Amino acid sequence: MAKSIDVVVVGATGAVGQVMLKVLEERRFPVGRLRLVASARSAGRVVEALGQRVTLEVASPEVFSPGGLALFSAGAGTSQTWCPVAAERGALAVDNSSAWRMDPSVPLVVPEVNSARITPRGIIANPNCSTIQMLVALKPLHDAAGLEQVVVSTYQAISGKGARALEEFELQRAADARGETPNHAVLPGVLSQNLLTDWKHEDSGWAEEELKMIQESRKILELPALRVTPTCVRVPVPNGHSEAVWARFSRPIGRDEALALLGAAPGISLDPRVGPGLHPQPRSFSGRDDVAVGRVRVDPSDPHALAFWVVGDNLRKGAATNAVQIAEHAFGVR
């Protein structure tokens, strides 16, 4: 492949930024000049990435090349400021923050679901991790039977909150092992041997993460009236989100048909096994780029409804991999 594309990773030292670099390398994205943007504290440090020695720098208009790719994962504030600059300079900004997701002029993309919305320039938003893996699984079923309603409970991994939360969790586990009371500062409580709801809440009781799943699903599937009811929970699992999904369709759908549809769909690793322990698990699926679907079963109370279980690597398909896949489509490099 002769093509080579200048790439800048904004938030290069963060948990997702690091995985973005790994995924670019693994998927042999044709990286031309690589630039890495970090906070002022890290700027000037030289790091090794994709076989290049790169000096970390702060954001400036000059880091964004016309015709280049800018991958953002440095929080909504940074994206709010710098994605438009990248786009004006003629780069494609793929943004992993929540800054642009619900902007009507910005595509919100899961390539397996709505790759037609991908543009070669401008800003494209990467959805929330919990939304991405759920929609990869729902898409083939929706195409066949018309999705009407979703009730979903999440079992979300600690890495979704970043490296500092993982470190705090390890300290909590060690304190438990010594019989001491664990502390918390990053997490909103003790997650060792426990479960936490770990997101900002509205007065209505709804958590930010839950509202994202509702709004983003409607936008991506282009079903503005879709009924989506999530409960988001942080579990003591280091990496890999899991979801228990109940979905209702406009017509009956059997287990065999559902398995056939899921098995033929892109980006899905179908697990058709039945029995204790025979299902996708975050411990073994962490590190994968696709999404695992298992425990597919027809609702005994409603032939229009299915229940199933979805596992995805929240740092990869839930963030870095999805962003790189968007870039692959945009630049026609895969």
* Residue 129 falls in the annotated catalytic set: yes
Q: Quick check: 269 binds its own copies (CB under 8 A)?
A: no
Residue 119 or 206 with smaller CB distance to its own copies:
206
> Given 83, 129, 142, 329, which residue is catalytic?
129
Least spacing, CB of residue 1 vs its own copies, in Å? 39
CB 187 within 8 A of CB 165: yes
Which amino acid is it at 293?
A: V
Q: Quick check: 146 binds its own copies (CB under 8 A)?
A: no
Residue 237 or 320 with smaller CB distance to its own copies:
237
Q: Quick check: 263 binds its own copies (CB under 8 A)?
A: no
Q: Which stretch binds its own copies (CB under 8 A): 11-19, 134-142, 278-286, 324-332?
A: 278-286
Residue 19 in tokens = 């995985």
Could you tell me whether strands 46-49 and 52-55 are parallel, antiparallel, or unpaired per DSSP bridges?
Answer: antiparallel
Instruction: Give per-residue burial for 39-52: e unless 16+ CB within 10 Å, then b.
Output: eeeeeeeeeebeee
Q: Quick check: 299 binds its own copies (CB under 8 A)?
A: yes
Q: Quick check: 114 binds its own copies (CB under 8 A)?
A: no
Could you tell me whether strands 31-37 and 46-49 are parallel, antiparallel, or unpaired per DSSP bridges?
Answer: unpaired
* 222 φ/ψ sector (left φ>0, alpha ψ -120 to 50, else beta): left
Q: Which stretch binds its own copies (CB under 8 A): 45-53, 56-64, 114-122, 289-297?
A: 289-297
Could you tell me whether strands 291-298 and 268-271 are parallel, antiparallel, or unpaired per DSSP bridges?
Answer: parallel
Residue 161 or 329 with smaller CB distance to its own copies:
161
Residue from 94, 38, 79, 86 nearest 61 by CA? 86
* Residue 241 falls in the annotated catalytic set: yes
Residue from 119, 111, 116 nearest 92 by CA? 119
Least spacing, CB of residue 57 vs its own copies, in Å? 34
- At residue 46, what are phi and psi to the nearest 5 degrees? -100, 130
Q: Quick check: 151 binds its own copies (CB under 8 A)?
A: yes
Residue 142 in tokens = 């929706």
d(CA 150, CA 2): 45
Q: Quick check: 206 binds its own copies (CB under 8 A)?
A: yes
Binding track over 208-247 against its own copies, x by CB under 8 A: ------x-----------xxxx-x-x-xxxx---x-x-x-
User: What residues act catalytically?
Assistant: 129, 241
Query: Which residues are near its own copies by CB under 8 A?
Result: 149, 151, 153, 155, 173, 177, 187-190, 193-207, 214, 226-229, 231, 233, 235-238, 242, 244, 246, 255, 274-279, 281-284, 295-302, 305, 307, 309
